[in-house]
Structure 1
Amino acid sequence: MQVILAQPRGFCAGVVRAIEIVDRALVKHGAPVFVRHEIVHNKQVVEGLKRKGAKFVEELDTVPSGAVTIFSAHGVSRQVEAEARTRELHAIDATCPLVIKVHTQGRQYAASGRAVILIGHAGHPEVEGTMGQIPGKVILVQNAAEAETLDLPRDAPLAYVTQTTLSVDDTRGIIAALERRFTDIVGPDTRDICYATQNRQSAVRELSKHVDVILVVGATNSSNSNRLREIGAESGVPSYLLAEGSELDPAWVRDAAVVGISAGASAPEEMVEDVIAALRRLGPVDVSTMEGIEEHAEFRLPAELADARPDTAAARQTEPQPAPLSVADCT
């Protein structure tokens, strides 16, 4: 069996930063540290941090007063930030800088008198955080059909921002529908959409041209991982989502001469290796990596953690991955 690995795949800079923040907080402050929501959507990552002393909670009322508390990479609302201050928690923000950029854009649009439309998925923690960061009413639009039925005046002053785990391709049709319907609508440049999401989706589209089956390594609650699987299927290739090698169904690859593997932005490279190991248990495997974009993005850590260096940082769990984005572009 030939196995082709997508390039790029796996951890993005925002995920590496978030995990390293938890690691460094444990080194500096000792266990436990509390993390609101899963730091990233990956069970293996979360379980690994739990073993080191991180405790994951969904609401701050379960956190002891004054405790070190980390906000996940998805971001939180201003209400959550205010609750942390009221309870005198030692809050450390691991929100991805690209998510913070969306929050800033949304607030700027609202301050200029525009109603803000958020393109995203209802219930996703990033969407809930973003809606809670922008003052006034934020209108959630999930697809082009919803954009077509918005009950707003044609000349209403509007602006849109997008969930970062949606790519340019995901949002193109929705934005086009909004621009057809409304005469006074603005939005960020497409370069502001998360580079990692777009790069991984483009890689899967290219991968689909060369393989019989696609395996996407990622969690079922990971928006970007699910989208990678959907893109493979939309390209006409049987595509499956699995978190690790134990979830591989041999029937998926029984008749496949060439298997493609990608991984969501919150999936560590060790899980990709675990899936390859599962394939090797079925027979001989020849592994190669597809040519593709290399990513170099690195995001600054909070200043208070600069001198706390864990023995095994999150950045060492993934291969070097260059990016078309500098730190300055994201902060």
Structure 2
Amino acid sequence: MVMNFRAFWIVLLSVFAAHPGHAQPRPGWTPIVDGLVLYQDEADLSGGGQVSATRSFIRAGGLYRAENGASAGVLISYGQVDYDFEGAVGVQPWGDVRDIRVSAPLRFPVGERASLFVSPQVRWNHEKGASASDGRTWGMFAGMAWQVNDRLRIGPAFGAFSELGDSGAKVFPALLIDWQMADRWSLSTGGGLGATQGPGLTLSYAVSDALSLSFGARSENVRFRLDGTGPAPGGVGEEKSIPVVLSLDYAPNPGTRLTVFAGAELDGELVLENAAGAEISRQSYGAAPVAGFAFRVRF
């Protein structure tokens, strides 16, 4: 995979979560806390053995919105993936992986219907025991969206991110969309359950004002720095997958959302590179059932 889709979707979340199309926050500061816990069940590895994982993620920060609709904020998050390799042939490729991010989403109104988004971000992805600075990457996501009508907001965007093991930045185009297709149906690249860890596209159906069902899928690709004791000391680990989930969202009030979900990680792949950037291992894994819950609170 050429582009770091996971980095792209995480920044897209920061932009859209900060500025939802249907419920603009009041002027002033809005504190935000959200999080996710996901369990990925055992899946067979192509090289022998099985892999499972528990993923946890929490984020907190604040967003300030001015009277004219402009806004700025700072969001800090911490995540961890606890891998469990059972019966794997040879040495376990890596252990637990940490994920730390700081982003600063900005939004500026352009005329009466358009908005410009800019969100710089710094990330630290590394195996427990490795130096966080060795897993640092950075980049920016920017775009412009037009409020075409009361039901549709759409516009072009691009992302530019550095990547572990690569000398140059990854630049890629994207599309922002928030479309209320019908009274109860909506399609979005920035909302829904998967947004906590990087959405691709989410289709939602509003059962009631407080309850909704969503179906989402995304392409995910994360790279992280390894410690100095495994089979690839100081190298890079990579996991690719396509998570597909069905979720149930409950929003008792505009500031709170609770979500439970279940689905599967499809087309999974684990890649191991040494410190020189040479690939030394590549294993695929079968469909892995996933389940978990997420929450979001705005004060």
TM-score by length of 2: 0.25
Structure showing the higher helix proportion among its residues:
1
Task: Indicate the structure whose relative CO is greater, using CA pairs within 8 Å and at least 6 residues apart.
Answer: 1
- Which has more radius of gyration? 1
